[in-house]
Chain A
Amino acid sequence: MLLAVASMHTIAMAQRENDQRTRTTKIADLLAQMPAKDSLQLTANMSEIAGIGKEGLIEMATMLAAPGKGDNTSLEYAMGGFSYYVSQPGREEWRQMSVDAYCQALQQADQEEHKAFLIRQLQMVGKDDAVSCLKGYLSDERLCGPAAKALINIHTSAASEVLLQALQNAQGECRLSLVEALGDARYTKAVTTLTPLAGSEDGKLRKLALYALANIADPASEAVLASAAQKGSYTFGNDNATSAYLLYAQRLAENSKQQQAEKIAQSLLDGTRQDLQVHTRTAALELMTDIQGEKSVALLTDAAADKNPEYRAAALKYAADYITPATTAMWVKKAKRADPEVEAAIITMLGKNNAKAAMPAVIKALRSRNDQVKLAAIDAVGSMGNEEALPKLLKTMRKGDKKEIDAVKEALFIMEAKNLTNAVADALPKMPADAQAASLAVLGNRAASEKINNVFSFVKDENATVRMAALTALEPMATKENLPRLFSLLQETSQAEEVSAVQNAIVAAVRDYEDRAQQADLVLQQMEAVPAEKKPLYFSILANIGGGKALNTVATAFNSGDAATKEAAVNALAEWSDVSAASELYRISQATSNSAYLDQALKGYIRTISLSEYPDEQKLLKLQDAMKLAKTPEQQQLILKEVAQAHTFPALVFAGRYLNEPALQQDAAQAVMNIALSDKNFQGDIVRELLNKTIDVIKGPDSEYQIKAMQKFLAEMPQGEGFVALFNGNDLTGWKGLVDNPIERAKMTREILAQKQKAADEQMRKDWKVENGEIVFVGKGFDNLTTTKKYGDIEMFVDWKIYDDGNKNGDAGIYLRGTPQVQMWDTSRVKDGAQVGSGGLYNNQINPSKPLKVADNPLGEWNNFHIIMQGDRVTVYLNGELVTDNVILENYWDKGLPIFPEEQIELQAHGSRVAYRNIYIRELPRPEPFKLSTAEQKEGFKVLFDGTNMHQWQGNTTDYVIENGELVVHEPKFGSGGNLYTKEEYGDFVFRFEFKLTPGANNGLGIRTPLEGDAAYEGMEVQILDNDADIYKTLHEYQYHGSVYGIMPAKRGYLKPLGEWNYEEVIVKGPKIKVILNGTTILDGDISGARKNGTLDGKDHPGLKRDKGYIGFLGHGSTVWFRNIRIKDLNKK
């Protein structure tokens, strides 16, 4: 991160130092970069604006187009962004510059909208320096408001003075703005001018003048404000006079004029006794409380007994800030003498505020004859928490009515008191039924495991409420010790709700065992022992615990049980705790003819998929399966809602198929939108068409925005057809039969090829059929189906399925560039090694041929490949899992050749029945391969790397990869990144290449090296190094870039800046080595001396003695790019 900032900075600085561009060009360049994509770029852009300076800002302002006559967007980004930027600390110089610029631009601007825009900038950046230029706009009807706002934000006496002067002659809206502004500025000098306006006939003006006078709070305004409030009967009026009066009093208090403020508060308290004025009286009470602080408690206690309940409630609210033992005593005293309603409210207030000193009084109130008081006391005891009060509380419960029992229960839920559960348990037997139920709930809620026996004694109580309360309390309390008792209880319980409570308790208790398998075994063992009709009671317990054995048991029960067993089993499966029940649920959905079972199982299946951790691709396959079985729109809608969460291209297409079905249209539309908008890489005609259709049909409260979002997405989508369907779902258009292999085909004459193609097509029509939107191989033997078109770099999706032939011969694959193959096979073919799974590059000899993991779905189920091929590399995702990671596909037809640059794609048939569907392909832009210049051709150079393949290379072809036609080694996750060698050996040669470094990058060009050992010593290493990096400042000169490591130093200082390409030529001839970097010879030496006399680094370099070897890139853990690599072998004549 630090590095990025630093490099950004250097680039910006570098640009400025040698910048020859005119101001207009600079502005144009700058505007092209608006808006900045992040804060880093924003900072850079803003520094650019600062660099262009005042004239630049003024020029930008003059570029603003009249409304409707052009696009000001990037100008607004630039200037608005600059205003925000300079408003932060440390930018004072630029802020002043911007004020200067905006003020000058204001004078030149002719459009009102532009002036308003510039004034808004001054509102953000202006200080006293903006006052004089804003002043002029205070007399302009349209711009007075904005200018006044800007001056309010400036908030200095100079700004206020200007506002006051402008007020003398102002009219209309402008006058309103100024009056308000003066009030906001609290400009005392304005009082005399404002006072007459407070009596204006114009309600708006009066309102603002009253507000301004109140906010300024000059004692001279008292009479005006008081009379206006009184005139408004101390209630709300459009002139807000009462509020202004209150504000005035508040400001007085803030200005250390408490006495006057208090007087106003008192007069309001006295003068607003009508109920319609209660809110004003309340405000006065608050004002008074604020002024008097703790001394207001007397007032508050009186207010708490007022006849108006709203006022009473307010008084109790304000009291909270002043609770002390002394004031608590006052409140207690008040409560005793008050009406029960008031007494209750006071007790509640004391309880809420934890007024411990009130405890004796509250305990006493538990015995009150008044219900309200009693309930308040119960609540208060609960929230204050007190052990001594516990017995009293329990007594209240024992003797109380339903309401009181509930209140005590709630209090006991939250009360902090030691021994609470003991006390509750002890009191249980003597409680009446309702209180027993409540007490049991308390024990459960507080998870009092040690009291579970007390609860057990009520699980068979005659009273249903008590019984249910006891059973419910068991779950949070139960431990493994209670299991035997719970199991027998399950046996003896019959009513559904009660059964479920016991089941929950058993699940909780079983969970005490750490081991999952043990949990299931325990329950299964128990289940074994009970009669058949009781077994279903255990299903939901098993569903909660999960595991293979549990699943088998429940699944078997569904298959063989009676109706009741079946129902319980399918319910349990549908609620299974993990994804393992999916296939069983699917099987039931598929097989059952009972629509209730289907509904239950299918919904369970969808739920399971939704909860699973499957990759989106896998989820989609499962949801497609589900869709085939869905019978009702409700089920289908449920599926589409899940599809919407799978953000893949095939999911987008799948959802799009339902846009025309009325019942599913809206869910499909939501899904299409959700998926498409989740990834900018979803591009092309298919996406375009689906989004346009969605825009047409989508409805709902947010549809307006959603349509806008989709339109925006479409507008920003790059041109191009993107993914296209390789298979139209109906017939084999676009496909043909297979003729021989690419090499043989290339040798054939056009006539022969045409003839063979005709025969092959005929065979194809026998072997391949289209059924239900799937391509199925029905033939025998080998007969690939091939695209009529040739493809180079591609991204494709294809679903495939191998049928179970019973002989474990299932085998197929996808040929890329006419070459075998991305493997697909029956993973049970262990004799052939198929247990490694599908998706590997089966025919690779040198590069990896096995997938990284097994991600196959069972035989007979659909799988999905997501294949990306770029250059000679292939990446494969199987069912969303990465199985082949950027691996070279070798040329099977001729090992001496790299993979063909383009060829047909083939769906392989290998004797067994196989099906394909949903085939989509996108052609990727392909880098132009590097070609030798005519001169180099004549001289006998040979290309080692042209940007499309790594056929000339060996060694670490995993960390060295091709990106955008460049050879790149990325900073490895571990190790040094390893070495990449030529396939051939070279002695004397001219090696030309280009390279690009990252900060601190380190690599090396090995020459005359063996394939093993440290190339710098076993061969020689010509350094490739960002030797200007700080970390390398202590290097020896024989370690600089271009040096023959440890042997001969090179000249430093000829590397291009980081991020630019360097061109280097290394000439090796006998003992002579020459390195030319960017046109400068930085090394021209002879190793003969070192051979004889030893090396600079004093180390042994056996490589000095070698006269040939491999050339290689020697990785040292950093990211480096190479390109255009060619060699002239001087030993070959």
Chain B
Amino acid sequence: MSLDTTSSRRDFLKKSMATVAAFTIVPRFVLGGRGYVAPSDQLTKAIIGIGSMGRNHIPYGDTRVMAVCDVDRNHLKQAAEMVGKGVKTFADYREVIQLPEVDIVHIATPPHWHGIIAADAARAGKDIWCEKPMTRTIGEGKRLVEAVQQHGRIFRLNTWFRFEDIFYGMGTPVKPIKKLVDSGLLGWPLKVTVGRGTGFDWKFYWVGKTNLNPMPVPPELDYNMWLGPAPYRPYNPHRVHQTFRGYWDYDGGGLGDMGQHYLDPVQYFLGKDNTSPVSVEIDAPQQHPDAVGTWRRITYTYADGCQIVLDGEGKAENIPYIEGPKGKLYPGFRSDIPDLQRKLAAFPDPEPQVTDFIEAVKERKKFALNEENGHRSCTLVNMGKAALHLGRSLRFDPVKQEFIDDDGANRLINQPMRSDWTMVL
């Protein structure tokens, strides 16, 4: 019998356990307890989409990189050098998600691929760590939620401000904000303004170019695979890699990029993880059908009157971040409520969240930011994109997750994909 030199941890497990009659395979999460990571118990991952963002994922989560995948050979080469010997490289994600030695699939492709790859990974029994924005359309989000839940997978979205770190311009983590909102000291309903005046830069300059000339596809890039489900358009370097966000086919500009970072925590502390707004209003110049442009203001309204205002250009200075009938909160946790900290101390902390992804995977717990609430915060982004794209304000049914009385808007919810990329449920 020849030795398999590429023998993986799983192969080893299979072989050694085969001798123990009582068990066929011992699942990885039974070995060792919490906080103990034996080398053989370290979870493994593959990263799909290994451009500049994907390379950030290499050290995430104290897991071992087994494989990387990209449609650009230069990206693969760079990543392989970074990870070191032994990492497998792939051009087709479908081979990656079938690798038995991989526990978690990281997805750092452009957003038009997120839904398909994540759903396929779920069907292949992988847990998923997906870049923001979660999906490019509301329809893809709905299907992804179903796929993840149907197959019992653990999913996390790669933004984290709802549970850790200082929340950008707020100068404070989100936890005390949540506590304040829950306390009712600000009253209800609340209006949250997210924009430069409150410390959040929408990167409104992340826009696309019109009238691009067709150019030859560089030899290292599989452009057809890069496009995947997106409509075919002639190649131009501005459409791919670092500047793809400027095109509706793949994302939605600064709103697509920063939107979920900024909005997810807001959705969390407003307690809107299970619902969506009933309307979105826009103030923006007309958008090009292909290239994303800038915008001035997007206003979401929930059924209970809570509002989220996205201030695009950030002209308004010194505006409160959260405004309620009883008080206002400014960046740095400043407030017009005297002695706020002390008043707040009398209220209980918000419920703890599951914030360790490895723990979530091992113990099959839902991660703090998962497919469900992630889909809802991504819906905020995608509702805004739809309204911008169409140039009109829209009404939304948060239960059916459809726009009300607007065929055009609903055609943006489920955009047909290019063969053979489909989000089969």
Is B150 a contact of A286 with CB atoms below 8 Å? yes
Contacts of A705 in B (CB 8 A): 203, 205-206, 242-243
Is B282 a contact of A275 with CB atoms below 8 Å? no
Is B122 on the interface with A (CB-CB < 8 A)? yes
Is B405 a contact of A42 with CB atoms below 8 Å? no
Given contact pairs A211-B422, A242-B123, A81 touches B231 in the complex (Cβ within 8 A):
no
Is B422 a contact of A238 with CB atoms below 8 Å? no
> Would you list which residues of chain B between 220 and 277 have a CB under 8 Å from chain A?
231-232, 234, 242-243
Q: Mark B286-309, 1 if CB is under 8 A from A, else 0.
A: 111110010000000000000000
Is B205 a contact of A279 with CB atoms below 8 Å? no
Residue of B nearest to A125 (CB): B408
**A473 → chain B closest CB, angstroms:** 11
Is A76 a contact of B289 with CB atoms below 8 Å? yes
Residue of A nearest to B209 (CB): A708
Per a CB cutoff under 8 Å, which of B152, B285, B346, B389 touches A37? B285
**Which of B150, B205, B231, B288: most chain A Cβ within 10 A?**
B150
Is B234 a contact of A149 with CB atoms below 8 Å? no
Is B85 on the interface with A (CB-CB < 8 A)? no
Residue of A nearest to B394 (CB): A88
Is A149 a contact of B416 with CB atoms below 8 Å? yes
Residue of B nearest to A281 (CB): B152
Is A413 a contact of B349 with CB atoms below 8 Å? yes
Is B125 a contact of A279 with CB atoms below 8 Å? yes
What 6 additional pairs, Cβ within 8 angstroms, besides A87-B409, A145-B231, A275-B25?
A173-B419, A236-B97, A240-B424, A286-B152, A413-B349, A508-B342
Residue of A nearest to B100 (CB): A276
Is B88 on the interface with A (CB-CB < 8 A)? no
- How many A-B residue pairs lie within 8 Å, measured between CB atoms? 237
Is A712 on the interface with B (CB-CB < 8 A)? yes
Is B231 a contact of A120 with CB atoms below 8 Å? yes
**B329 → chain A closest CB, angstroms:** 15
5 tightest A-B CB contacts, nearest first: A87-B408, A80-B289, A313-B364, A709-B205, A176-B419
Is A282 a contact of B411 with CB atoms below 8 Å? no
Q: Complex Cα distance A312/B207, Å? A: 47
> Would you list which residues of chain B between 372 and 425 have a CB under 8 Å from chain A?
389-393, 405-409, 411, 416-420, 422, 424-425
22 residue pairs A–B, Cβ–Cβ below 8 Å: A39-B283, A42-B286, A68-B213, A83-B289, A85-B392, A87-B407, A87-B408, A145-B232, A180-B417, A180-B419, A207-B420, A235-B124, A236-B123, A244-B424, A275-B25, A280-B125, A286-B150, A287-B150, A308-B27, A446-B348, A447-B347, A708-B205
Is A770 on the interface with B (CB-CB < 8 A)? no
Question: Looking at chain B's contact residues, is the secondary structure mostly helix, strand, loop, or mixed?
Answer: loop
Is A939 on the interface with B (CB-CB < 8 A)? no
Is A279 a contact of B152 with CB atoms below 8 Å? yes
Q: Complex Cα distance A179/B408, Å? A: 25
Q: Complex Cα distance A715/B365, Å? A: 52
Is A309 a contact of B30 with CB atoms below 8 Å? yes
Is A782 on the interface with B (CB-CB < 8 A)? no
Is A982 on the interface with B (CB-CB < 8 A)? no
Contacts of B389 in A (CB 8 A): 84
> Would you list which residues of chain A between 250 and 283 have a CB under 8 Å from chain B?
250, 274-280, 282-283
Per a CB cutoff under 8 Å, which of A37, A113, A311 touches B234? A113
Is A89 a contact of B406 with CB atoms below 8 Å? yes
Contacts of A696 in B (CB 8 A): none
Q: Mark A472-510, 1 if CB is under 8 A from B, else 0.
A: 000110000000000000000000000000000000100
**Which of B151, B285, B392: most chain A Cβ within 10 A?**
B151
Question: Looking at chain A's contact residues, is the secondary structure mostly helix, strand, loop, or mixed?
Answer: helix
Given contact pairs A145-B419, A283-B152, A705-B205, A84 touches B390 in the complex (Cβ within 8 A):
yes
Q: Mark A271-302, 1 if CB is under 8 A from B, else 0.
A: 00011111110110011000000000000000
Q: Complex Cα distance A309/B339, Å? A: 49
**A305 → chain B closest CB, angstroms:** 15
**B287 → chain A closest CB, angstroms:** 7
Residue of A nearest to B282 (CB): A39
Is B231 a contact of A149 with CB atoms below 8 Å? yes
Is A243 on the interface with B (CB-CB < 8 A)? yes
Is A124 on the interface with B (CB-CB < 8 A)? yes
Contacts of A85 in B (CB 8 A): 390-392
**B394 → chain A closest CB, angstroms:** 9
Is A317 a contact of B345 with CB atoms below 8 Å? no
Q: Complex Cα distance A279/B411, Å? A: 32
Q: Complex Cα distance A181/B348, Å? A: 53
Is B352 on the interface with A (CB-CB < 8 A)? yes
Q: Complex Cα distance A502/B345, Å? A: 16
Is A76 a contact of B210 with CB atoms below 8 Å? yes
Is A317 a contact of B125 with CB atoms below 8 Å? no
User: Chain B interface (Cβ within 8 Å of chain A)?
Assistant: 24-25, 27, 29-30, 52, 94, 97-98, 100, 120, 122-125, 149-153, 196, 203, 205-207, 210-211, 213-214, 231-232, 234, 242-243, 282-290, 293, 314, 318, 332, 339, 342, 345-349, 351-352, 363-366, 389-393, 405-409, 411, 416-420, 422, 424-425
Contacts of A72 in B (CB 8 A): 210-211
User: Chain A interface (Cβ within 8 Å of chain B)?
Assistant: 34-39, 41-42, 45, 67-68, 71-73, 76-77, 79-81, 83-89, 113, 116, 120, 123-125, 142, 145-146, 148-149, 152-153, 173, 176-177, 179-181, 183-184, 204-205, 207-208, 211, 214, 235-238, 240, 242-244, 246-247, 250, 274-280, 282-283, 286-287, 308-314, 317, 410, 413-414, 445-447, 475-476, 508, 511, 611, 613, 677-678, 701-702, 704-706, 708-709, 712
Contacts of B363 in A (CB 8 A): 313
Residue of A nearest to B314 (CB): A678
Is B285 a contact of A35 with CB atoms below 8 Å? yes
Q: Complex Cα distance A467/B151, Å? A: 50
Is A236 a contact of B213 with CB atoms below 8 Å? no
**A116 → chain B closest CB, angstroms:** 8
Given contact pairs A145-B232, A317-B152, A236 touches B408 in the complex (Cβ within 8 A):
no
Contacts of A414 in B (CB 8 A): 348-349, 351
Contacts of B416 in A (CB 8 A): 123, 148-149, 152-153, 181, 184
Residue of A nearest to B201 (CB): A674
Is B424 a contact of A153 with CB atoms below 8 Å? no
Given contact pairs A243-B123, A704-B242, A705-B206, A311 touches B152 in the complex (Cβ within 8 A):
yes
Contacts of B196 in A (CB 8 A): 678
Q: Complex Cα distance A741/B309, Å? A: 56
Contacts of A677 in B (CB 8 A): 205
Is B210 a contact of A73 with CB atoms below 8 Å? yes
Is B346 a contact of A38 with CB atoms below 8 Å? no
Is A81 a contact of B391 with CB atoms below 8 Å? yes
Q: Complex Cα distance A177/B229, Å? A: 11
Residue of A nearest to B425 (CB): A247
Q: Complex Cα distance A211/B25, Å? A: 32
Is B94 a contact of A238 with CB atoms below 8 Å? yes
Is B345 a contact of A476 with CB atoms below 8 Å? yes
Contacts of B214 in A (CB 8 A): 67-68
Contacts of B153 in A (CB 8 A): 279
Is B152 a contact of A314 with CB atoms below 8 Å? yes
Is A310 a contact of B364 with CB atoms below 8 Å? yes
Contacts of A279 in B (CB 8 A): 122-125, 151-153
